[in-house]
A and B are shown apart, each in its own frame.
Chain A
Amino acid sequence: MAEINTGGGGGHKGGKVRSKKASTRVDLTPMVDLGFLLITFFMLATTLIKPQTMEINLPRNDKIEKKDQTLVKASKSITIILAKNNKIFYFFGDGKTDPVTKGPVQVQTADFSKTGIRQMLLDRNAPIVALIKELRKEKERIRMSDEEYRKKAAQVRSGDAAAIVMITATDEAKYDNLVNILDEMQICNVSKYAIVDLSTLHKDLIKDLDK
Chain B
Amino acid sequence: MPKVKIARKSTLVDMTAMCDVAFLLLTFFMLTSNFTAKEPVKVETPTSISEIKIPETNIETILIDPKGKVFLGIDGQPHRINLLRSMGEAYKITFTPAELKRYSLRATTGVPMDQMKAFLNLPDEQIDNPNAQKGIPTDTTAGSEFRQWVYYAKKENDKIVIAIKGDKETPFPVIKTVMKTLQDLKQVRFNLITGLKEVPKD
Which residues of chain B are within 8 angstroms of A45 by Cβ–Cβ distance? 35-36
Chain B residue nearest in CB terms to A36: B22
State which residues 41-58 of B face A: CB under 8 Å: 45-54
**6 further contact pairs, Cβ within 8 A, besides A38-B26, A45-B35:** A3-B14, A31-B15, A32-B18, A51-B195, A58-B188, A175-B171
**Cα(A150)–Cα(B187), bound, Å:** 24
Which residue of the partner chain, among A35, A50, A58, contacts B26 with CB atoms under 8 Å? Answer: A35
Cross-interface CB contact of A82 among B45, B172, B183, B200, cutoff 8 Å: B172
Residue of A whose beta carbon sits closest to that of B169 = A174
Q: Is the interface of B mostly helix, strand, loop or mixed?
A: mixed
Contacting residues, chain B, for A187 (C-beta < 8 A)? 49, 199-200, 202
Inter-chain contacts of B30 with A (CB < 8 A): 42
Decide yes or no whether B64 CB sits under 8 A from chain A.
Answer: yes
Cβ–Cβ < 8 Å partners of A173 in chain B:
171-172
Q: Can you list 13 A-B pairs, Cβ within 8 angstroms, ordered by A?
A: A1-B16, A28-B15, A43-B29, A46-B34, A52-B51, A60-B186, A60-B188, A114-B200, A171-B171, A171-B173, A173-B171, A175-B168, A175-B171
Knowing A1-B14, A52-B54, the reply to whether A174 touches B171 (Cβ < 8 A) is yes
Task: Give the interface segment out of A12-20, A72-80, A135-143, A176-184.
Answer: A176-184
Contact of B33 among A31, A42, A172, A179 (CB under 8 A): A42
Q: Are A183 and B33 in contact (CB under 8 A)?
A: no
What are the interface flags for A56-71 relative to B under an 8 Å C-beta threshold, 1 for contact and 0 otherwise? 1111110000000000
Known pairs A46-B34, A54-B192, A82-B172; A28 contacts B19 (CB<8 A)? yes
Is A128 close to B, CB under 8 A? no
Chain A 15-42 interface mask (CB, 8 Å, partner B; 1/0): 0000000000001110110011011001
Q: How many residues of A contact B (CB 8 A)?
A: 52
Q: Are A53 and B32 in contact (CB under 8 A)?
A: no
A209: Cβ under 8 A from any B Cβ: no
Residues of B within 8 A of A177 (CB): 172
Q: In the bound complex, do residue A56 and residue B53 qualify as a contact, i.e. CB atoms below 8 Å apart?
A: no
Is residue A47 within 8 Å, beta carbon to beta carbon, of the partner chain? yes
Q: Which residues of B contact A176 (CB under 8 A)?
A: 46, 168-169
B146 shortest CB reach to chain A, Å: 16
Is B191 in contact with chain A by the CB < 8 A criterion? yes
User: Which chain A residue shows the least CB distance to B13?
Assistant: A1
Which chain A residue shows the least CB distance to B197? Answer: A183
Which of B13, B26, B52, B166: most chain A Cβ within 10 A? B26
Select which of A1, A28, A52, A172 is within 8 A of B50 by beta carbon.
Answer: A52
